[in-house]
Amino acid sequence: MEDYQLTPLIPAQDLQKHLSAIAERINHDYADKNLVLIGILKGSFVFLADLMRLLRVPVEIDFVRLASYGTRSETSGQIEITKDIELSIEGRHVLIVEDIVDTGTTLAWYMERLQTHQPASIRICALIDKYERRSVEVPLDYVCIRIEKGFVVGYGLDFSEKHRNLPGIYEIQFIK
Ligand code: IMP
Ligand code: MG
């Protein structure tokens, strides 16, 4: 078993402030539209639950679960949908809700897949933009927090399925 420590990065109260700011922008941008939020499981469910309660535009929600094959800490190019959305998004305004964007591989792949359903628009809302390792450009329309690098957990994000329940965001420090 690998040994590690958790260092506090963003307290829960700060997250709520970031969410309020993003929600205001979304409320403004979609003022006269019906929105479909698509959460990418599992990591986005806490973020999506808090975000949607700050939205005043009519919203529907759905979820997709993507599996990617690669090493534990890096996504490979091979991605598969293991649970697809059930709503029809043809002609709809879609906002993808993602926990964290790292290389960008996962979202770029999924956006391309969603385009084939012919939605009216697709935008991305990410809790965290982790930009150092970005290798595929993806348009991140709404971002709460930007970090350069590091592995983070809490508020839905996991390390080997652990720590999703933490109310704030923590950085993992591996002990050699
Ligand atoms: P990407 O395809 O490289 O952008 O990988 C994005 C996915 O990797 C995210 O949706 C997360 O599931 C996972 N991921 C990347 N960095 C972290 C992290 O720091 N903590 C938890 N999960 C992460
Ligand atoms: Mg994810």
Q: Which tens digit of pLDDT belongs to each residue from 54-106?
A: 999 999 999 999 998 765 556 566 899 999 999 999 999 999 999 999 999 99
Q: Active-site residue 84, yes or no?
A: no
pLDDT of residue 126: 98
Other CB atoms within 10 A of residue 22 CB: 21
Measured in angstroms, how far is the CA atom of residue 123 from the centroid of ligand 2?
16
Query: What is the value of pTM for the model shown?
Result: 0.95
If one residue of 38, 148, 157 were mutated to test the ligand 1 pocket, choosing by the most ligand atoms within 8 A of its CB, it would be: 157
Report the pocket of ligand 1 as residue ranges, CB < 6 Å.
Answer: 43, 75, 98-106, 130, 151-153, 157
Q: In the chain, pLDDT over 90 holds for what percent of residues?
A: 91
Average pLDDT for 135-147: 97
On the CB side of 134, how many CA atoms lie within 13 Å of its CA?
A: 17
Answer for the pair 129, 121: CB distance below 8 angstroms, yes or no.
no
**Residue 157 structure tokens:** 């994000």
Q: Give the whole-angstrom CA distance, residue 42 versus residue 132.
A: 23
Q: Which residue has the tokens 């704030």?
A: 168
Contact 168, 10 (CB under 8 A): yes
